[in-house]
Structure 1
Amino acid sequence: MARPATEELRRRNRAALLEQLHRHGPQTRAELTEALGLNRSTIGGLAADLSESGHLQETTGRSTGSAGRPSTLVECVAKSVSVAAVELRFDRVRFALTGLGGEVLDRGELPLEASAGADAAAAATASLLDGAEVAEAVAAVPGLVSGGVVGHSSELGWDGTDLGAALAEATGRKWRVTDAATAGAVGEWSRGDAGEARNLMYLHGGRGLTAGIAVEGRARPGSSIQLGHIVVEPGGRECRCGMRGCLEAEMGAFGFTEAIETTTVAADLGDTKAREALRRSGQYLGRALGAVVTAVGPDEILFGGWLRELYLSSAAAVRSALAETTLPQLRSGLRLRTPALGAEGPLIGAAETGFEAIIDEMR
């Protein structure tokens, strides 16, 4: 009989093997041996266990380039475990059913009425899910999230809304709820090109401005940051939240959701008003980032949603304002850029949040 400590170690190694293949795709046993630091016989035993449970399979893989047979690859069985992920936006619900290994098995989208409540969003989600059996279900929402409750969302017009309860009622299962910016950070670290970042910040631009953080790919506790409600102009314009001088109010963030493309094109054609609007918005954004960088100390910042276009058009203003409001030590190694996954980041990150929970339960 295996001792408890031995069985615990084997369980952790199984989870590590599954995580490696889920994140990095099919690999040979030799590659797995090197990646996980385990001997080949241990890898063989773990792979056999996970093949028996239906999680993995071995296939004829890549050619060695010699006359010998192609090497055998170990890979995930996508349909063995699936996660339901949804992303809520002000006008729609986006859905993806994702299998082990990151393969998208199904996707869909339904419109939402303006100012729709949690019950309407949950009903649309239930329709998209259509009774599918999933191991985890995760919803990404633009706003301040704690547990299943959306404390504040400028984009959705929600305050203190228990989305988790509404989703559970509509679908008959428990949901994890995360903010879209944090989901974006997790997605870019897991499936984009930000896997080297230790402390990754993702900015989400919709009908509101939020930020989220992933530390080595995991959502940082309490990482929902209301970027749009950092005061950048004391006593400035009145914000919808009731304060004055918030980033969202000073930038006119709500209008930029629809107008960013028109504004950037006009600026490229020489429109001085458009250029000034972009420069001023970039400056305000840089000021707000200065406060967040000072508090959090990220090593990489990604500009998602319509903030991507704003950053590409006003990078100099953003960087200049950021330099004026942060210590040199905090920005010396800081990288600012746009996301590799584009608009898909938050939805992919929601799915990866679910797989993280599944693999953690295996340890």
Structure 2
Amino acid sequence: MARPPAVELRRRNRAAMLEQLHRHGPQTRAELTEALGLNRSTIATIASDLAESGHLQETTGRSTGSAGRPSTLVECVPKALAVAAIEIRADRVRFALIGLGGEVLERAEAALEAGAAAPEVAAAAAGLVGPSGAEAVAAVPGLVDAGTVAHSTELGWTDRDVAADLAAATGREWRVVDTATAAAVGEWSRGDAHEATKLLYLHGGRGLTAGLVVEGRAQRGGSIQLGHIVVEPNGRECACGLRGCLEAEMEAFGYAEDIEDATVAAGMGDAAARDALRRSGEDLGRALGAVVTATGPDEILFGGWLRELYLSAAAPVRSALAGTTLPHLRSRLRLRTPVLGDEGALTGAAETGFAALIDQMR
């Protein structure tokens, strides 16, 4: 049965206020009135409702700069709602329990044996997470769709239902997103990429992936196997069975292990290292051309070890990208490095969970 219009509107306003405070931090009622476009009495009613439910509290906040009393701020209660987020890597599982407003309540990690199978990884995650969090979200490197990892160079998994593995180990349901998409959500939500309508995040690990978010939201089909775009027909044989894949041409695994040595050597004048970085930058730019043409992002972030490659080979990346995309697609395109670094994926996994929880309130 449909809810009465007044109840529907009240729910939407509650969710909108909670989302505003979760994303932007403590605000006065006057600031909430302006941000949400609601009148003062509605703001007061909704704030009181959320305070009664334990989601919000009011505190004495900023000084007005005059002799009067400091303004009263409305803010989230972190422990009122939390998301259990994990990031799975080749050598470890990282966990964070993140509360409403973005506060980290708990943090832990567990080492993994090389080549650990999915059930072993899920068991390690279960040992970290326990019953914490109203929502559980995992970030996994690779091509991910509906909880299944179709292919992960980094983990060596193919067609693995990771959501089911985690559910079996923990006794709870999981959302699964790819690492690059999670990092994109994190950078949009908690970094400085919130002005991007379409944000493309490139992740360099032992494989190369990309994730596309639209206005900060993960999209089905936004998980991209960047490393298996063919950049050299009849090129090097790739572990996936194709030839000339970006991962094979760039020897991505070697870069994942030795990128710092390569960039230092190039900086010290090593001609071979400079040439290798240049060629890798060109290959990356050509692969990006295909992705940009297909998805039309307005910002690209280079994460993982691709950050170091981009900083060392920005010119060949940009030149090759320019040669493989239409002018109107690249004219508004910004290329840069992320600000959250290694925390991006874990932060974004949590923000994916909060988006789902707040949507349920509407």
TM-score (norm 1): 0.98
Change (3 A) 1:136 1:217: same
Cα separation, 2, equivalents of 1:132 and 1:304:
31
Counterpart position of 1:348: 347
Task: Among all aligned residue pairs of Structure 1 and Structure 2, give the percentage whose two residues are the same amino acid.
Answer: 76
Match of 2:84, SS? strand
Cα separation, 1, equivalents of 2:29 and 2:338:
32
Counterpart position of 1:317: 316
Match of 2:221, SS? coil
Contact 2:145/2:220, CA 8 A, preserved across alignment: no
Cα separation, 1, equivalents of 2:235 and 2:155:
24
> Match for 2:275: what amino acid?
E
Cα separation, 2, equivalents of 1:293 and 1:133:
39
Counterpart position of 2:87: 87
- Aligned: 1:67 with 2:67: yes
> Match for 1:241: what amino acid?
C
Task: For residue 40 of structure 1, report the CA deviation from its aligned partner.
Answer: 0.9
Task: For residue 134 of structure 1, report the CA deviation from its aligned partner.
Answer: 1.4
> Match for 1:215: what amino acid?
V
Contact 2:83/2:136, CA 8 A, preserved across alignment: yes
Q: CA deviation digits over 1:104-139, x for unaligned, max 9?
A: 00111111111111111111101111x233110000
Task: For residue 83 of structure 1, report the CA deviation from its aligned partner.
Answer: 0.3
Match of 2:224, SS? coil
Counterpart position of 2:166: 167
> Match for 1:46: what amino acid?
I
Q: CA deviation digits over 1:159-182, x for unaligned, max 9?
A: 011111110111110000000011
Counterpart position of 2:8: 8
Cα separation, 2, equivalents of 1:121 and 1:101:
29
Unaligned runs of 5+ in 2: none
Aligned 1:50-199 pairs, distance under 5 A: 50-129=50-129, 131-199=130-198
Match of 1:177, SS? strand
Match of 1:326, SS? coil
- Aligned: 1:210 with 2:212: no
Counterpart position of 1:245: 244
- Aligned: 1:201 with 2:200: yes
Aligned 1:280-291 pairs, distance under 5 A: 280-291=279-290
> Match for 2:20: what amino acid?
Q
Counterpart position of 1:296: 295
Cα separation, 2, equivalents of 1:275 and 1:40:
61
> Match for 1:231: what amino acid?
V
Q: CA deviation digits over 1:211-256, x for unaligned, max 9?
A: 0011001012211100000000000000010100000000000111
Counterpart position of 1:20: 20
Give the count of matched residue pairs.
360
Contact 2:97/2:132, CA 8 A, preserved across alignment: no
Unaligned runs of 5+ in 1: none
Cα separation, 1, equivalents of 2:249 and 2:141:
19
Cα separation, 2, equivalents of 1:133 and 1:186:
22
Cα separation, 1, equivalents of 2:40 and 2:273:
61
Cα separation, 1, equivalents of 2:109 and 2:134:
21
243-252 or 219-228: bigger deviation? 219-228
Cα separation, 2, equivalents of 1:204 and 1:76:
32
Task: For residue 147 of structure 1, report the CA deviation from its aligned partner.
Answer: 1.1
Counterpart position of 2:261: 262
Counterpart position of 1:273: 272
Cα separation, 2, equivalents of 1:250 and 1:133:
43
Match of 1:361, SS? helix
Match of 1:356, SS? helix
> Match for 1:103: what amino acid?
E
Cα separation, 1, equivalents of 2:111 and 2:237:
30
Q: CA deviation digits over 1:304-348, x for unaligned, max 9?
A: 000000000000000000000001110001000000111111110
Counterpart position of 2:30: 30
Cα separation, 1, equivalents of 2:260 and 2:144:
29
Match of 2:220, SS? coil
284-293 or 132-141: bigger deviation? 132-141
> Match for 1:111: what amino acid?
A
Counterpart position of 1:327: 326
Match of 1:237, SS? coil
Task: For residue 146 of structure 1, report the CA deviation from its aligned partner.
Answer: 1.1
Alignment RMSD, CA only?
0.7
Q: CA deviation digits over 1:270-295, x for unaligned, max 9?
A: 11111111100000000000000000
Match of 1:50, SS? helix
- Aligned: 1:42 with 2:26: no
Match of 1:223, SS? strand
Cα separation, 2, equivalents of 1:175 and 1:97:
14
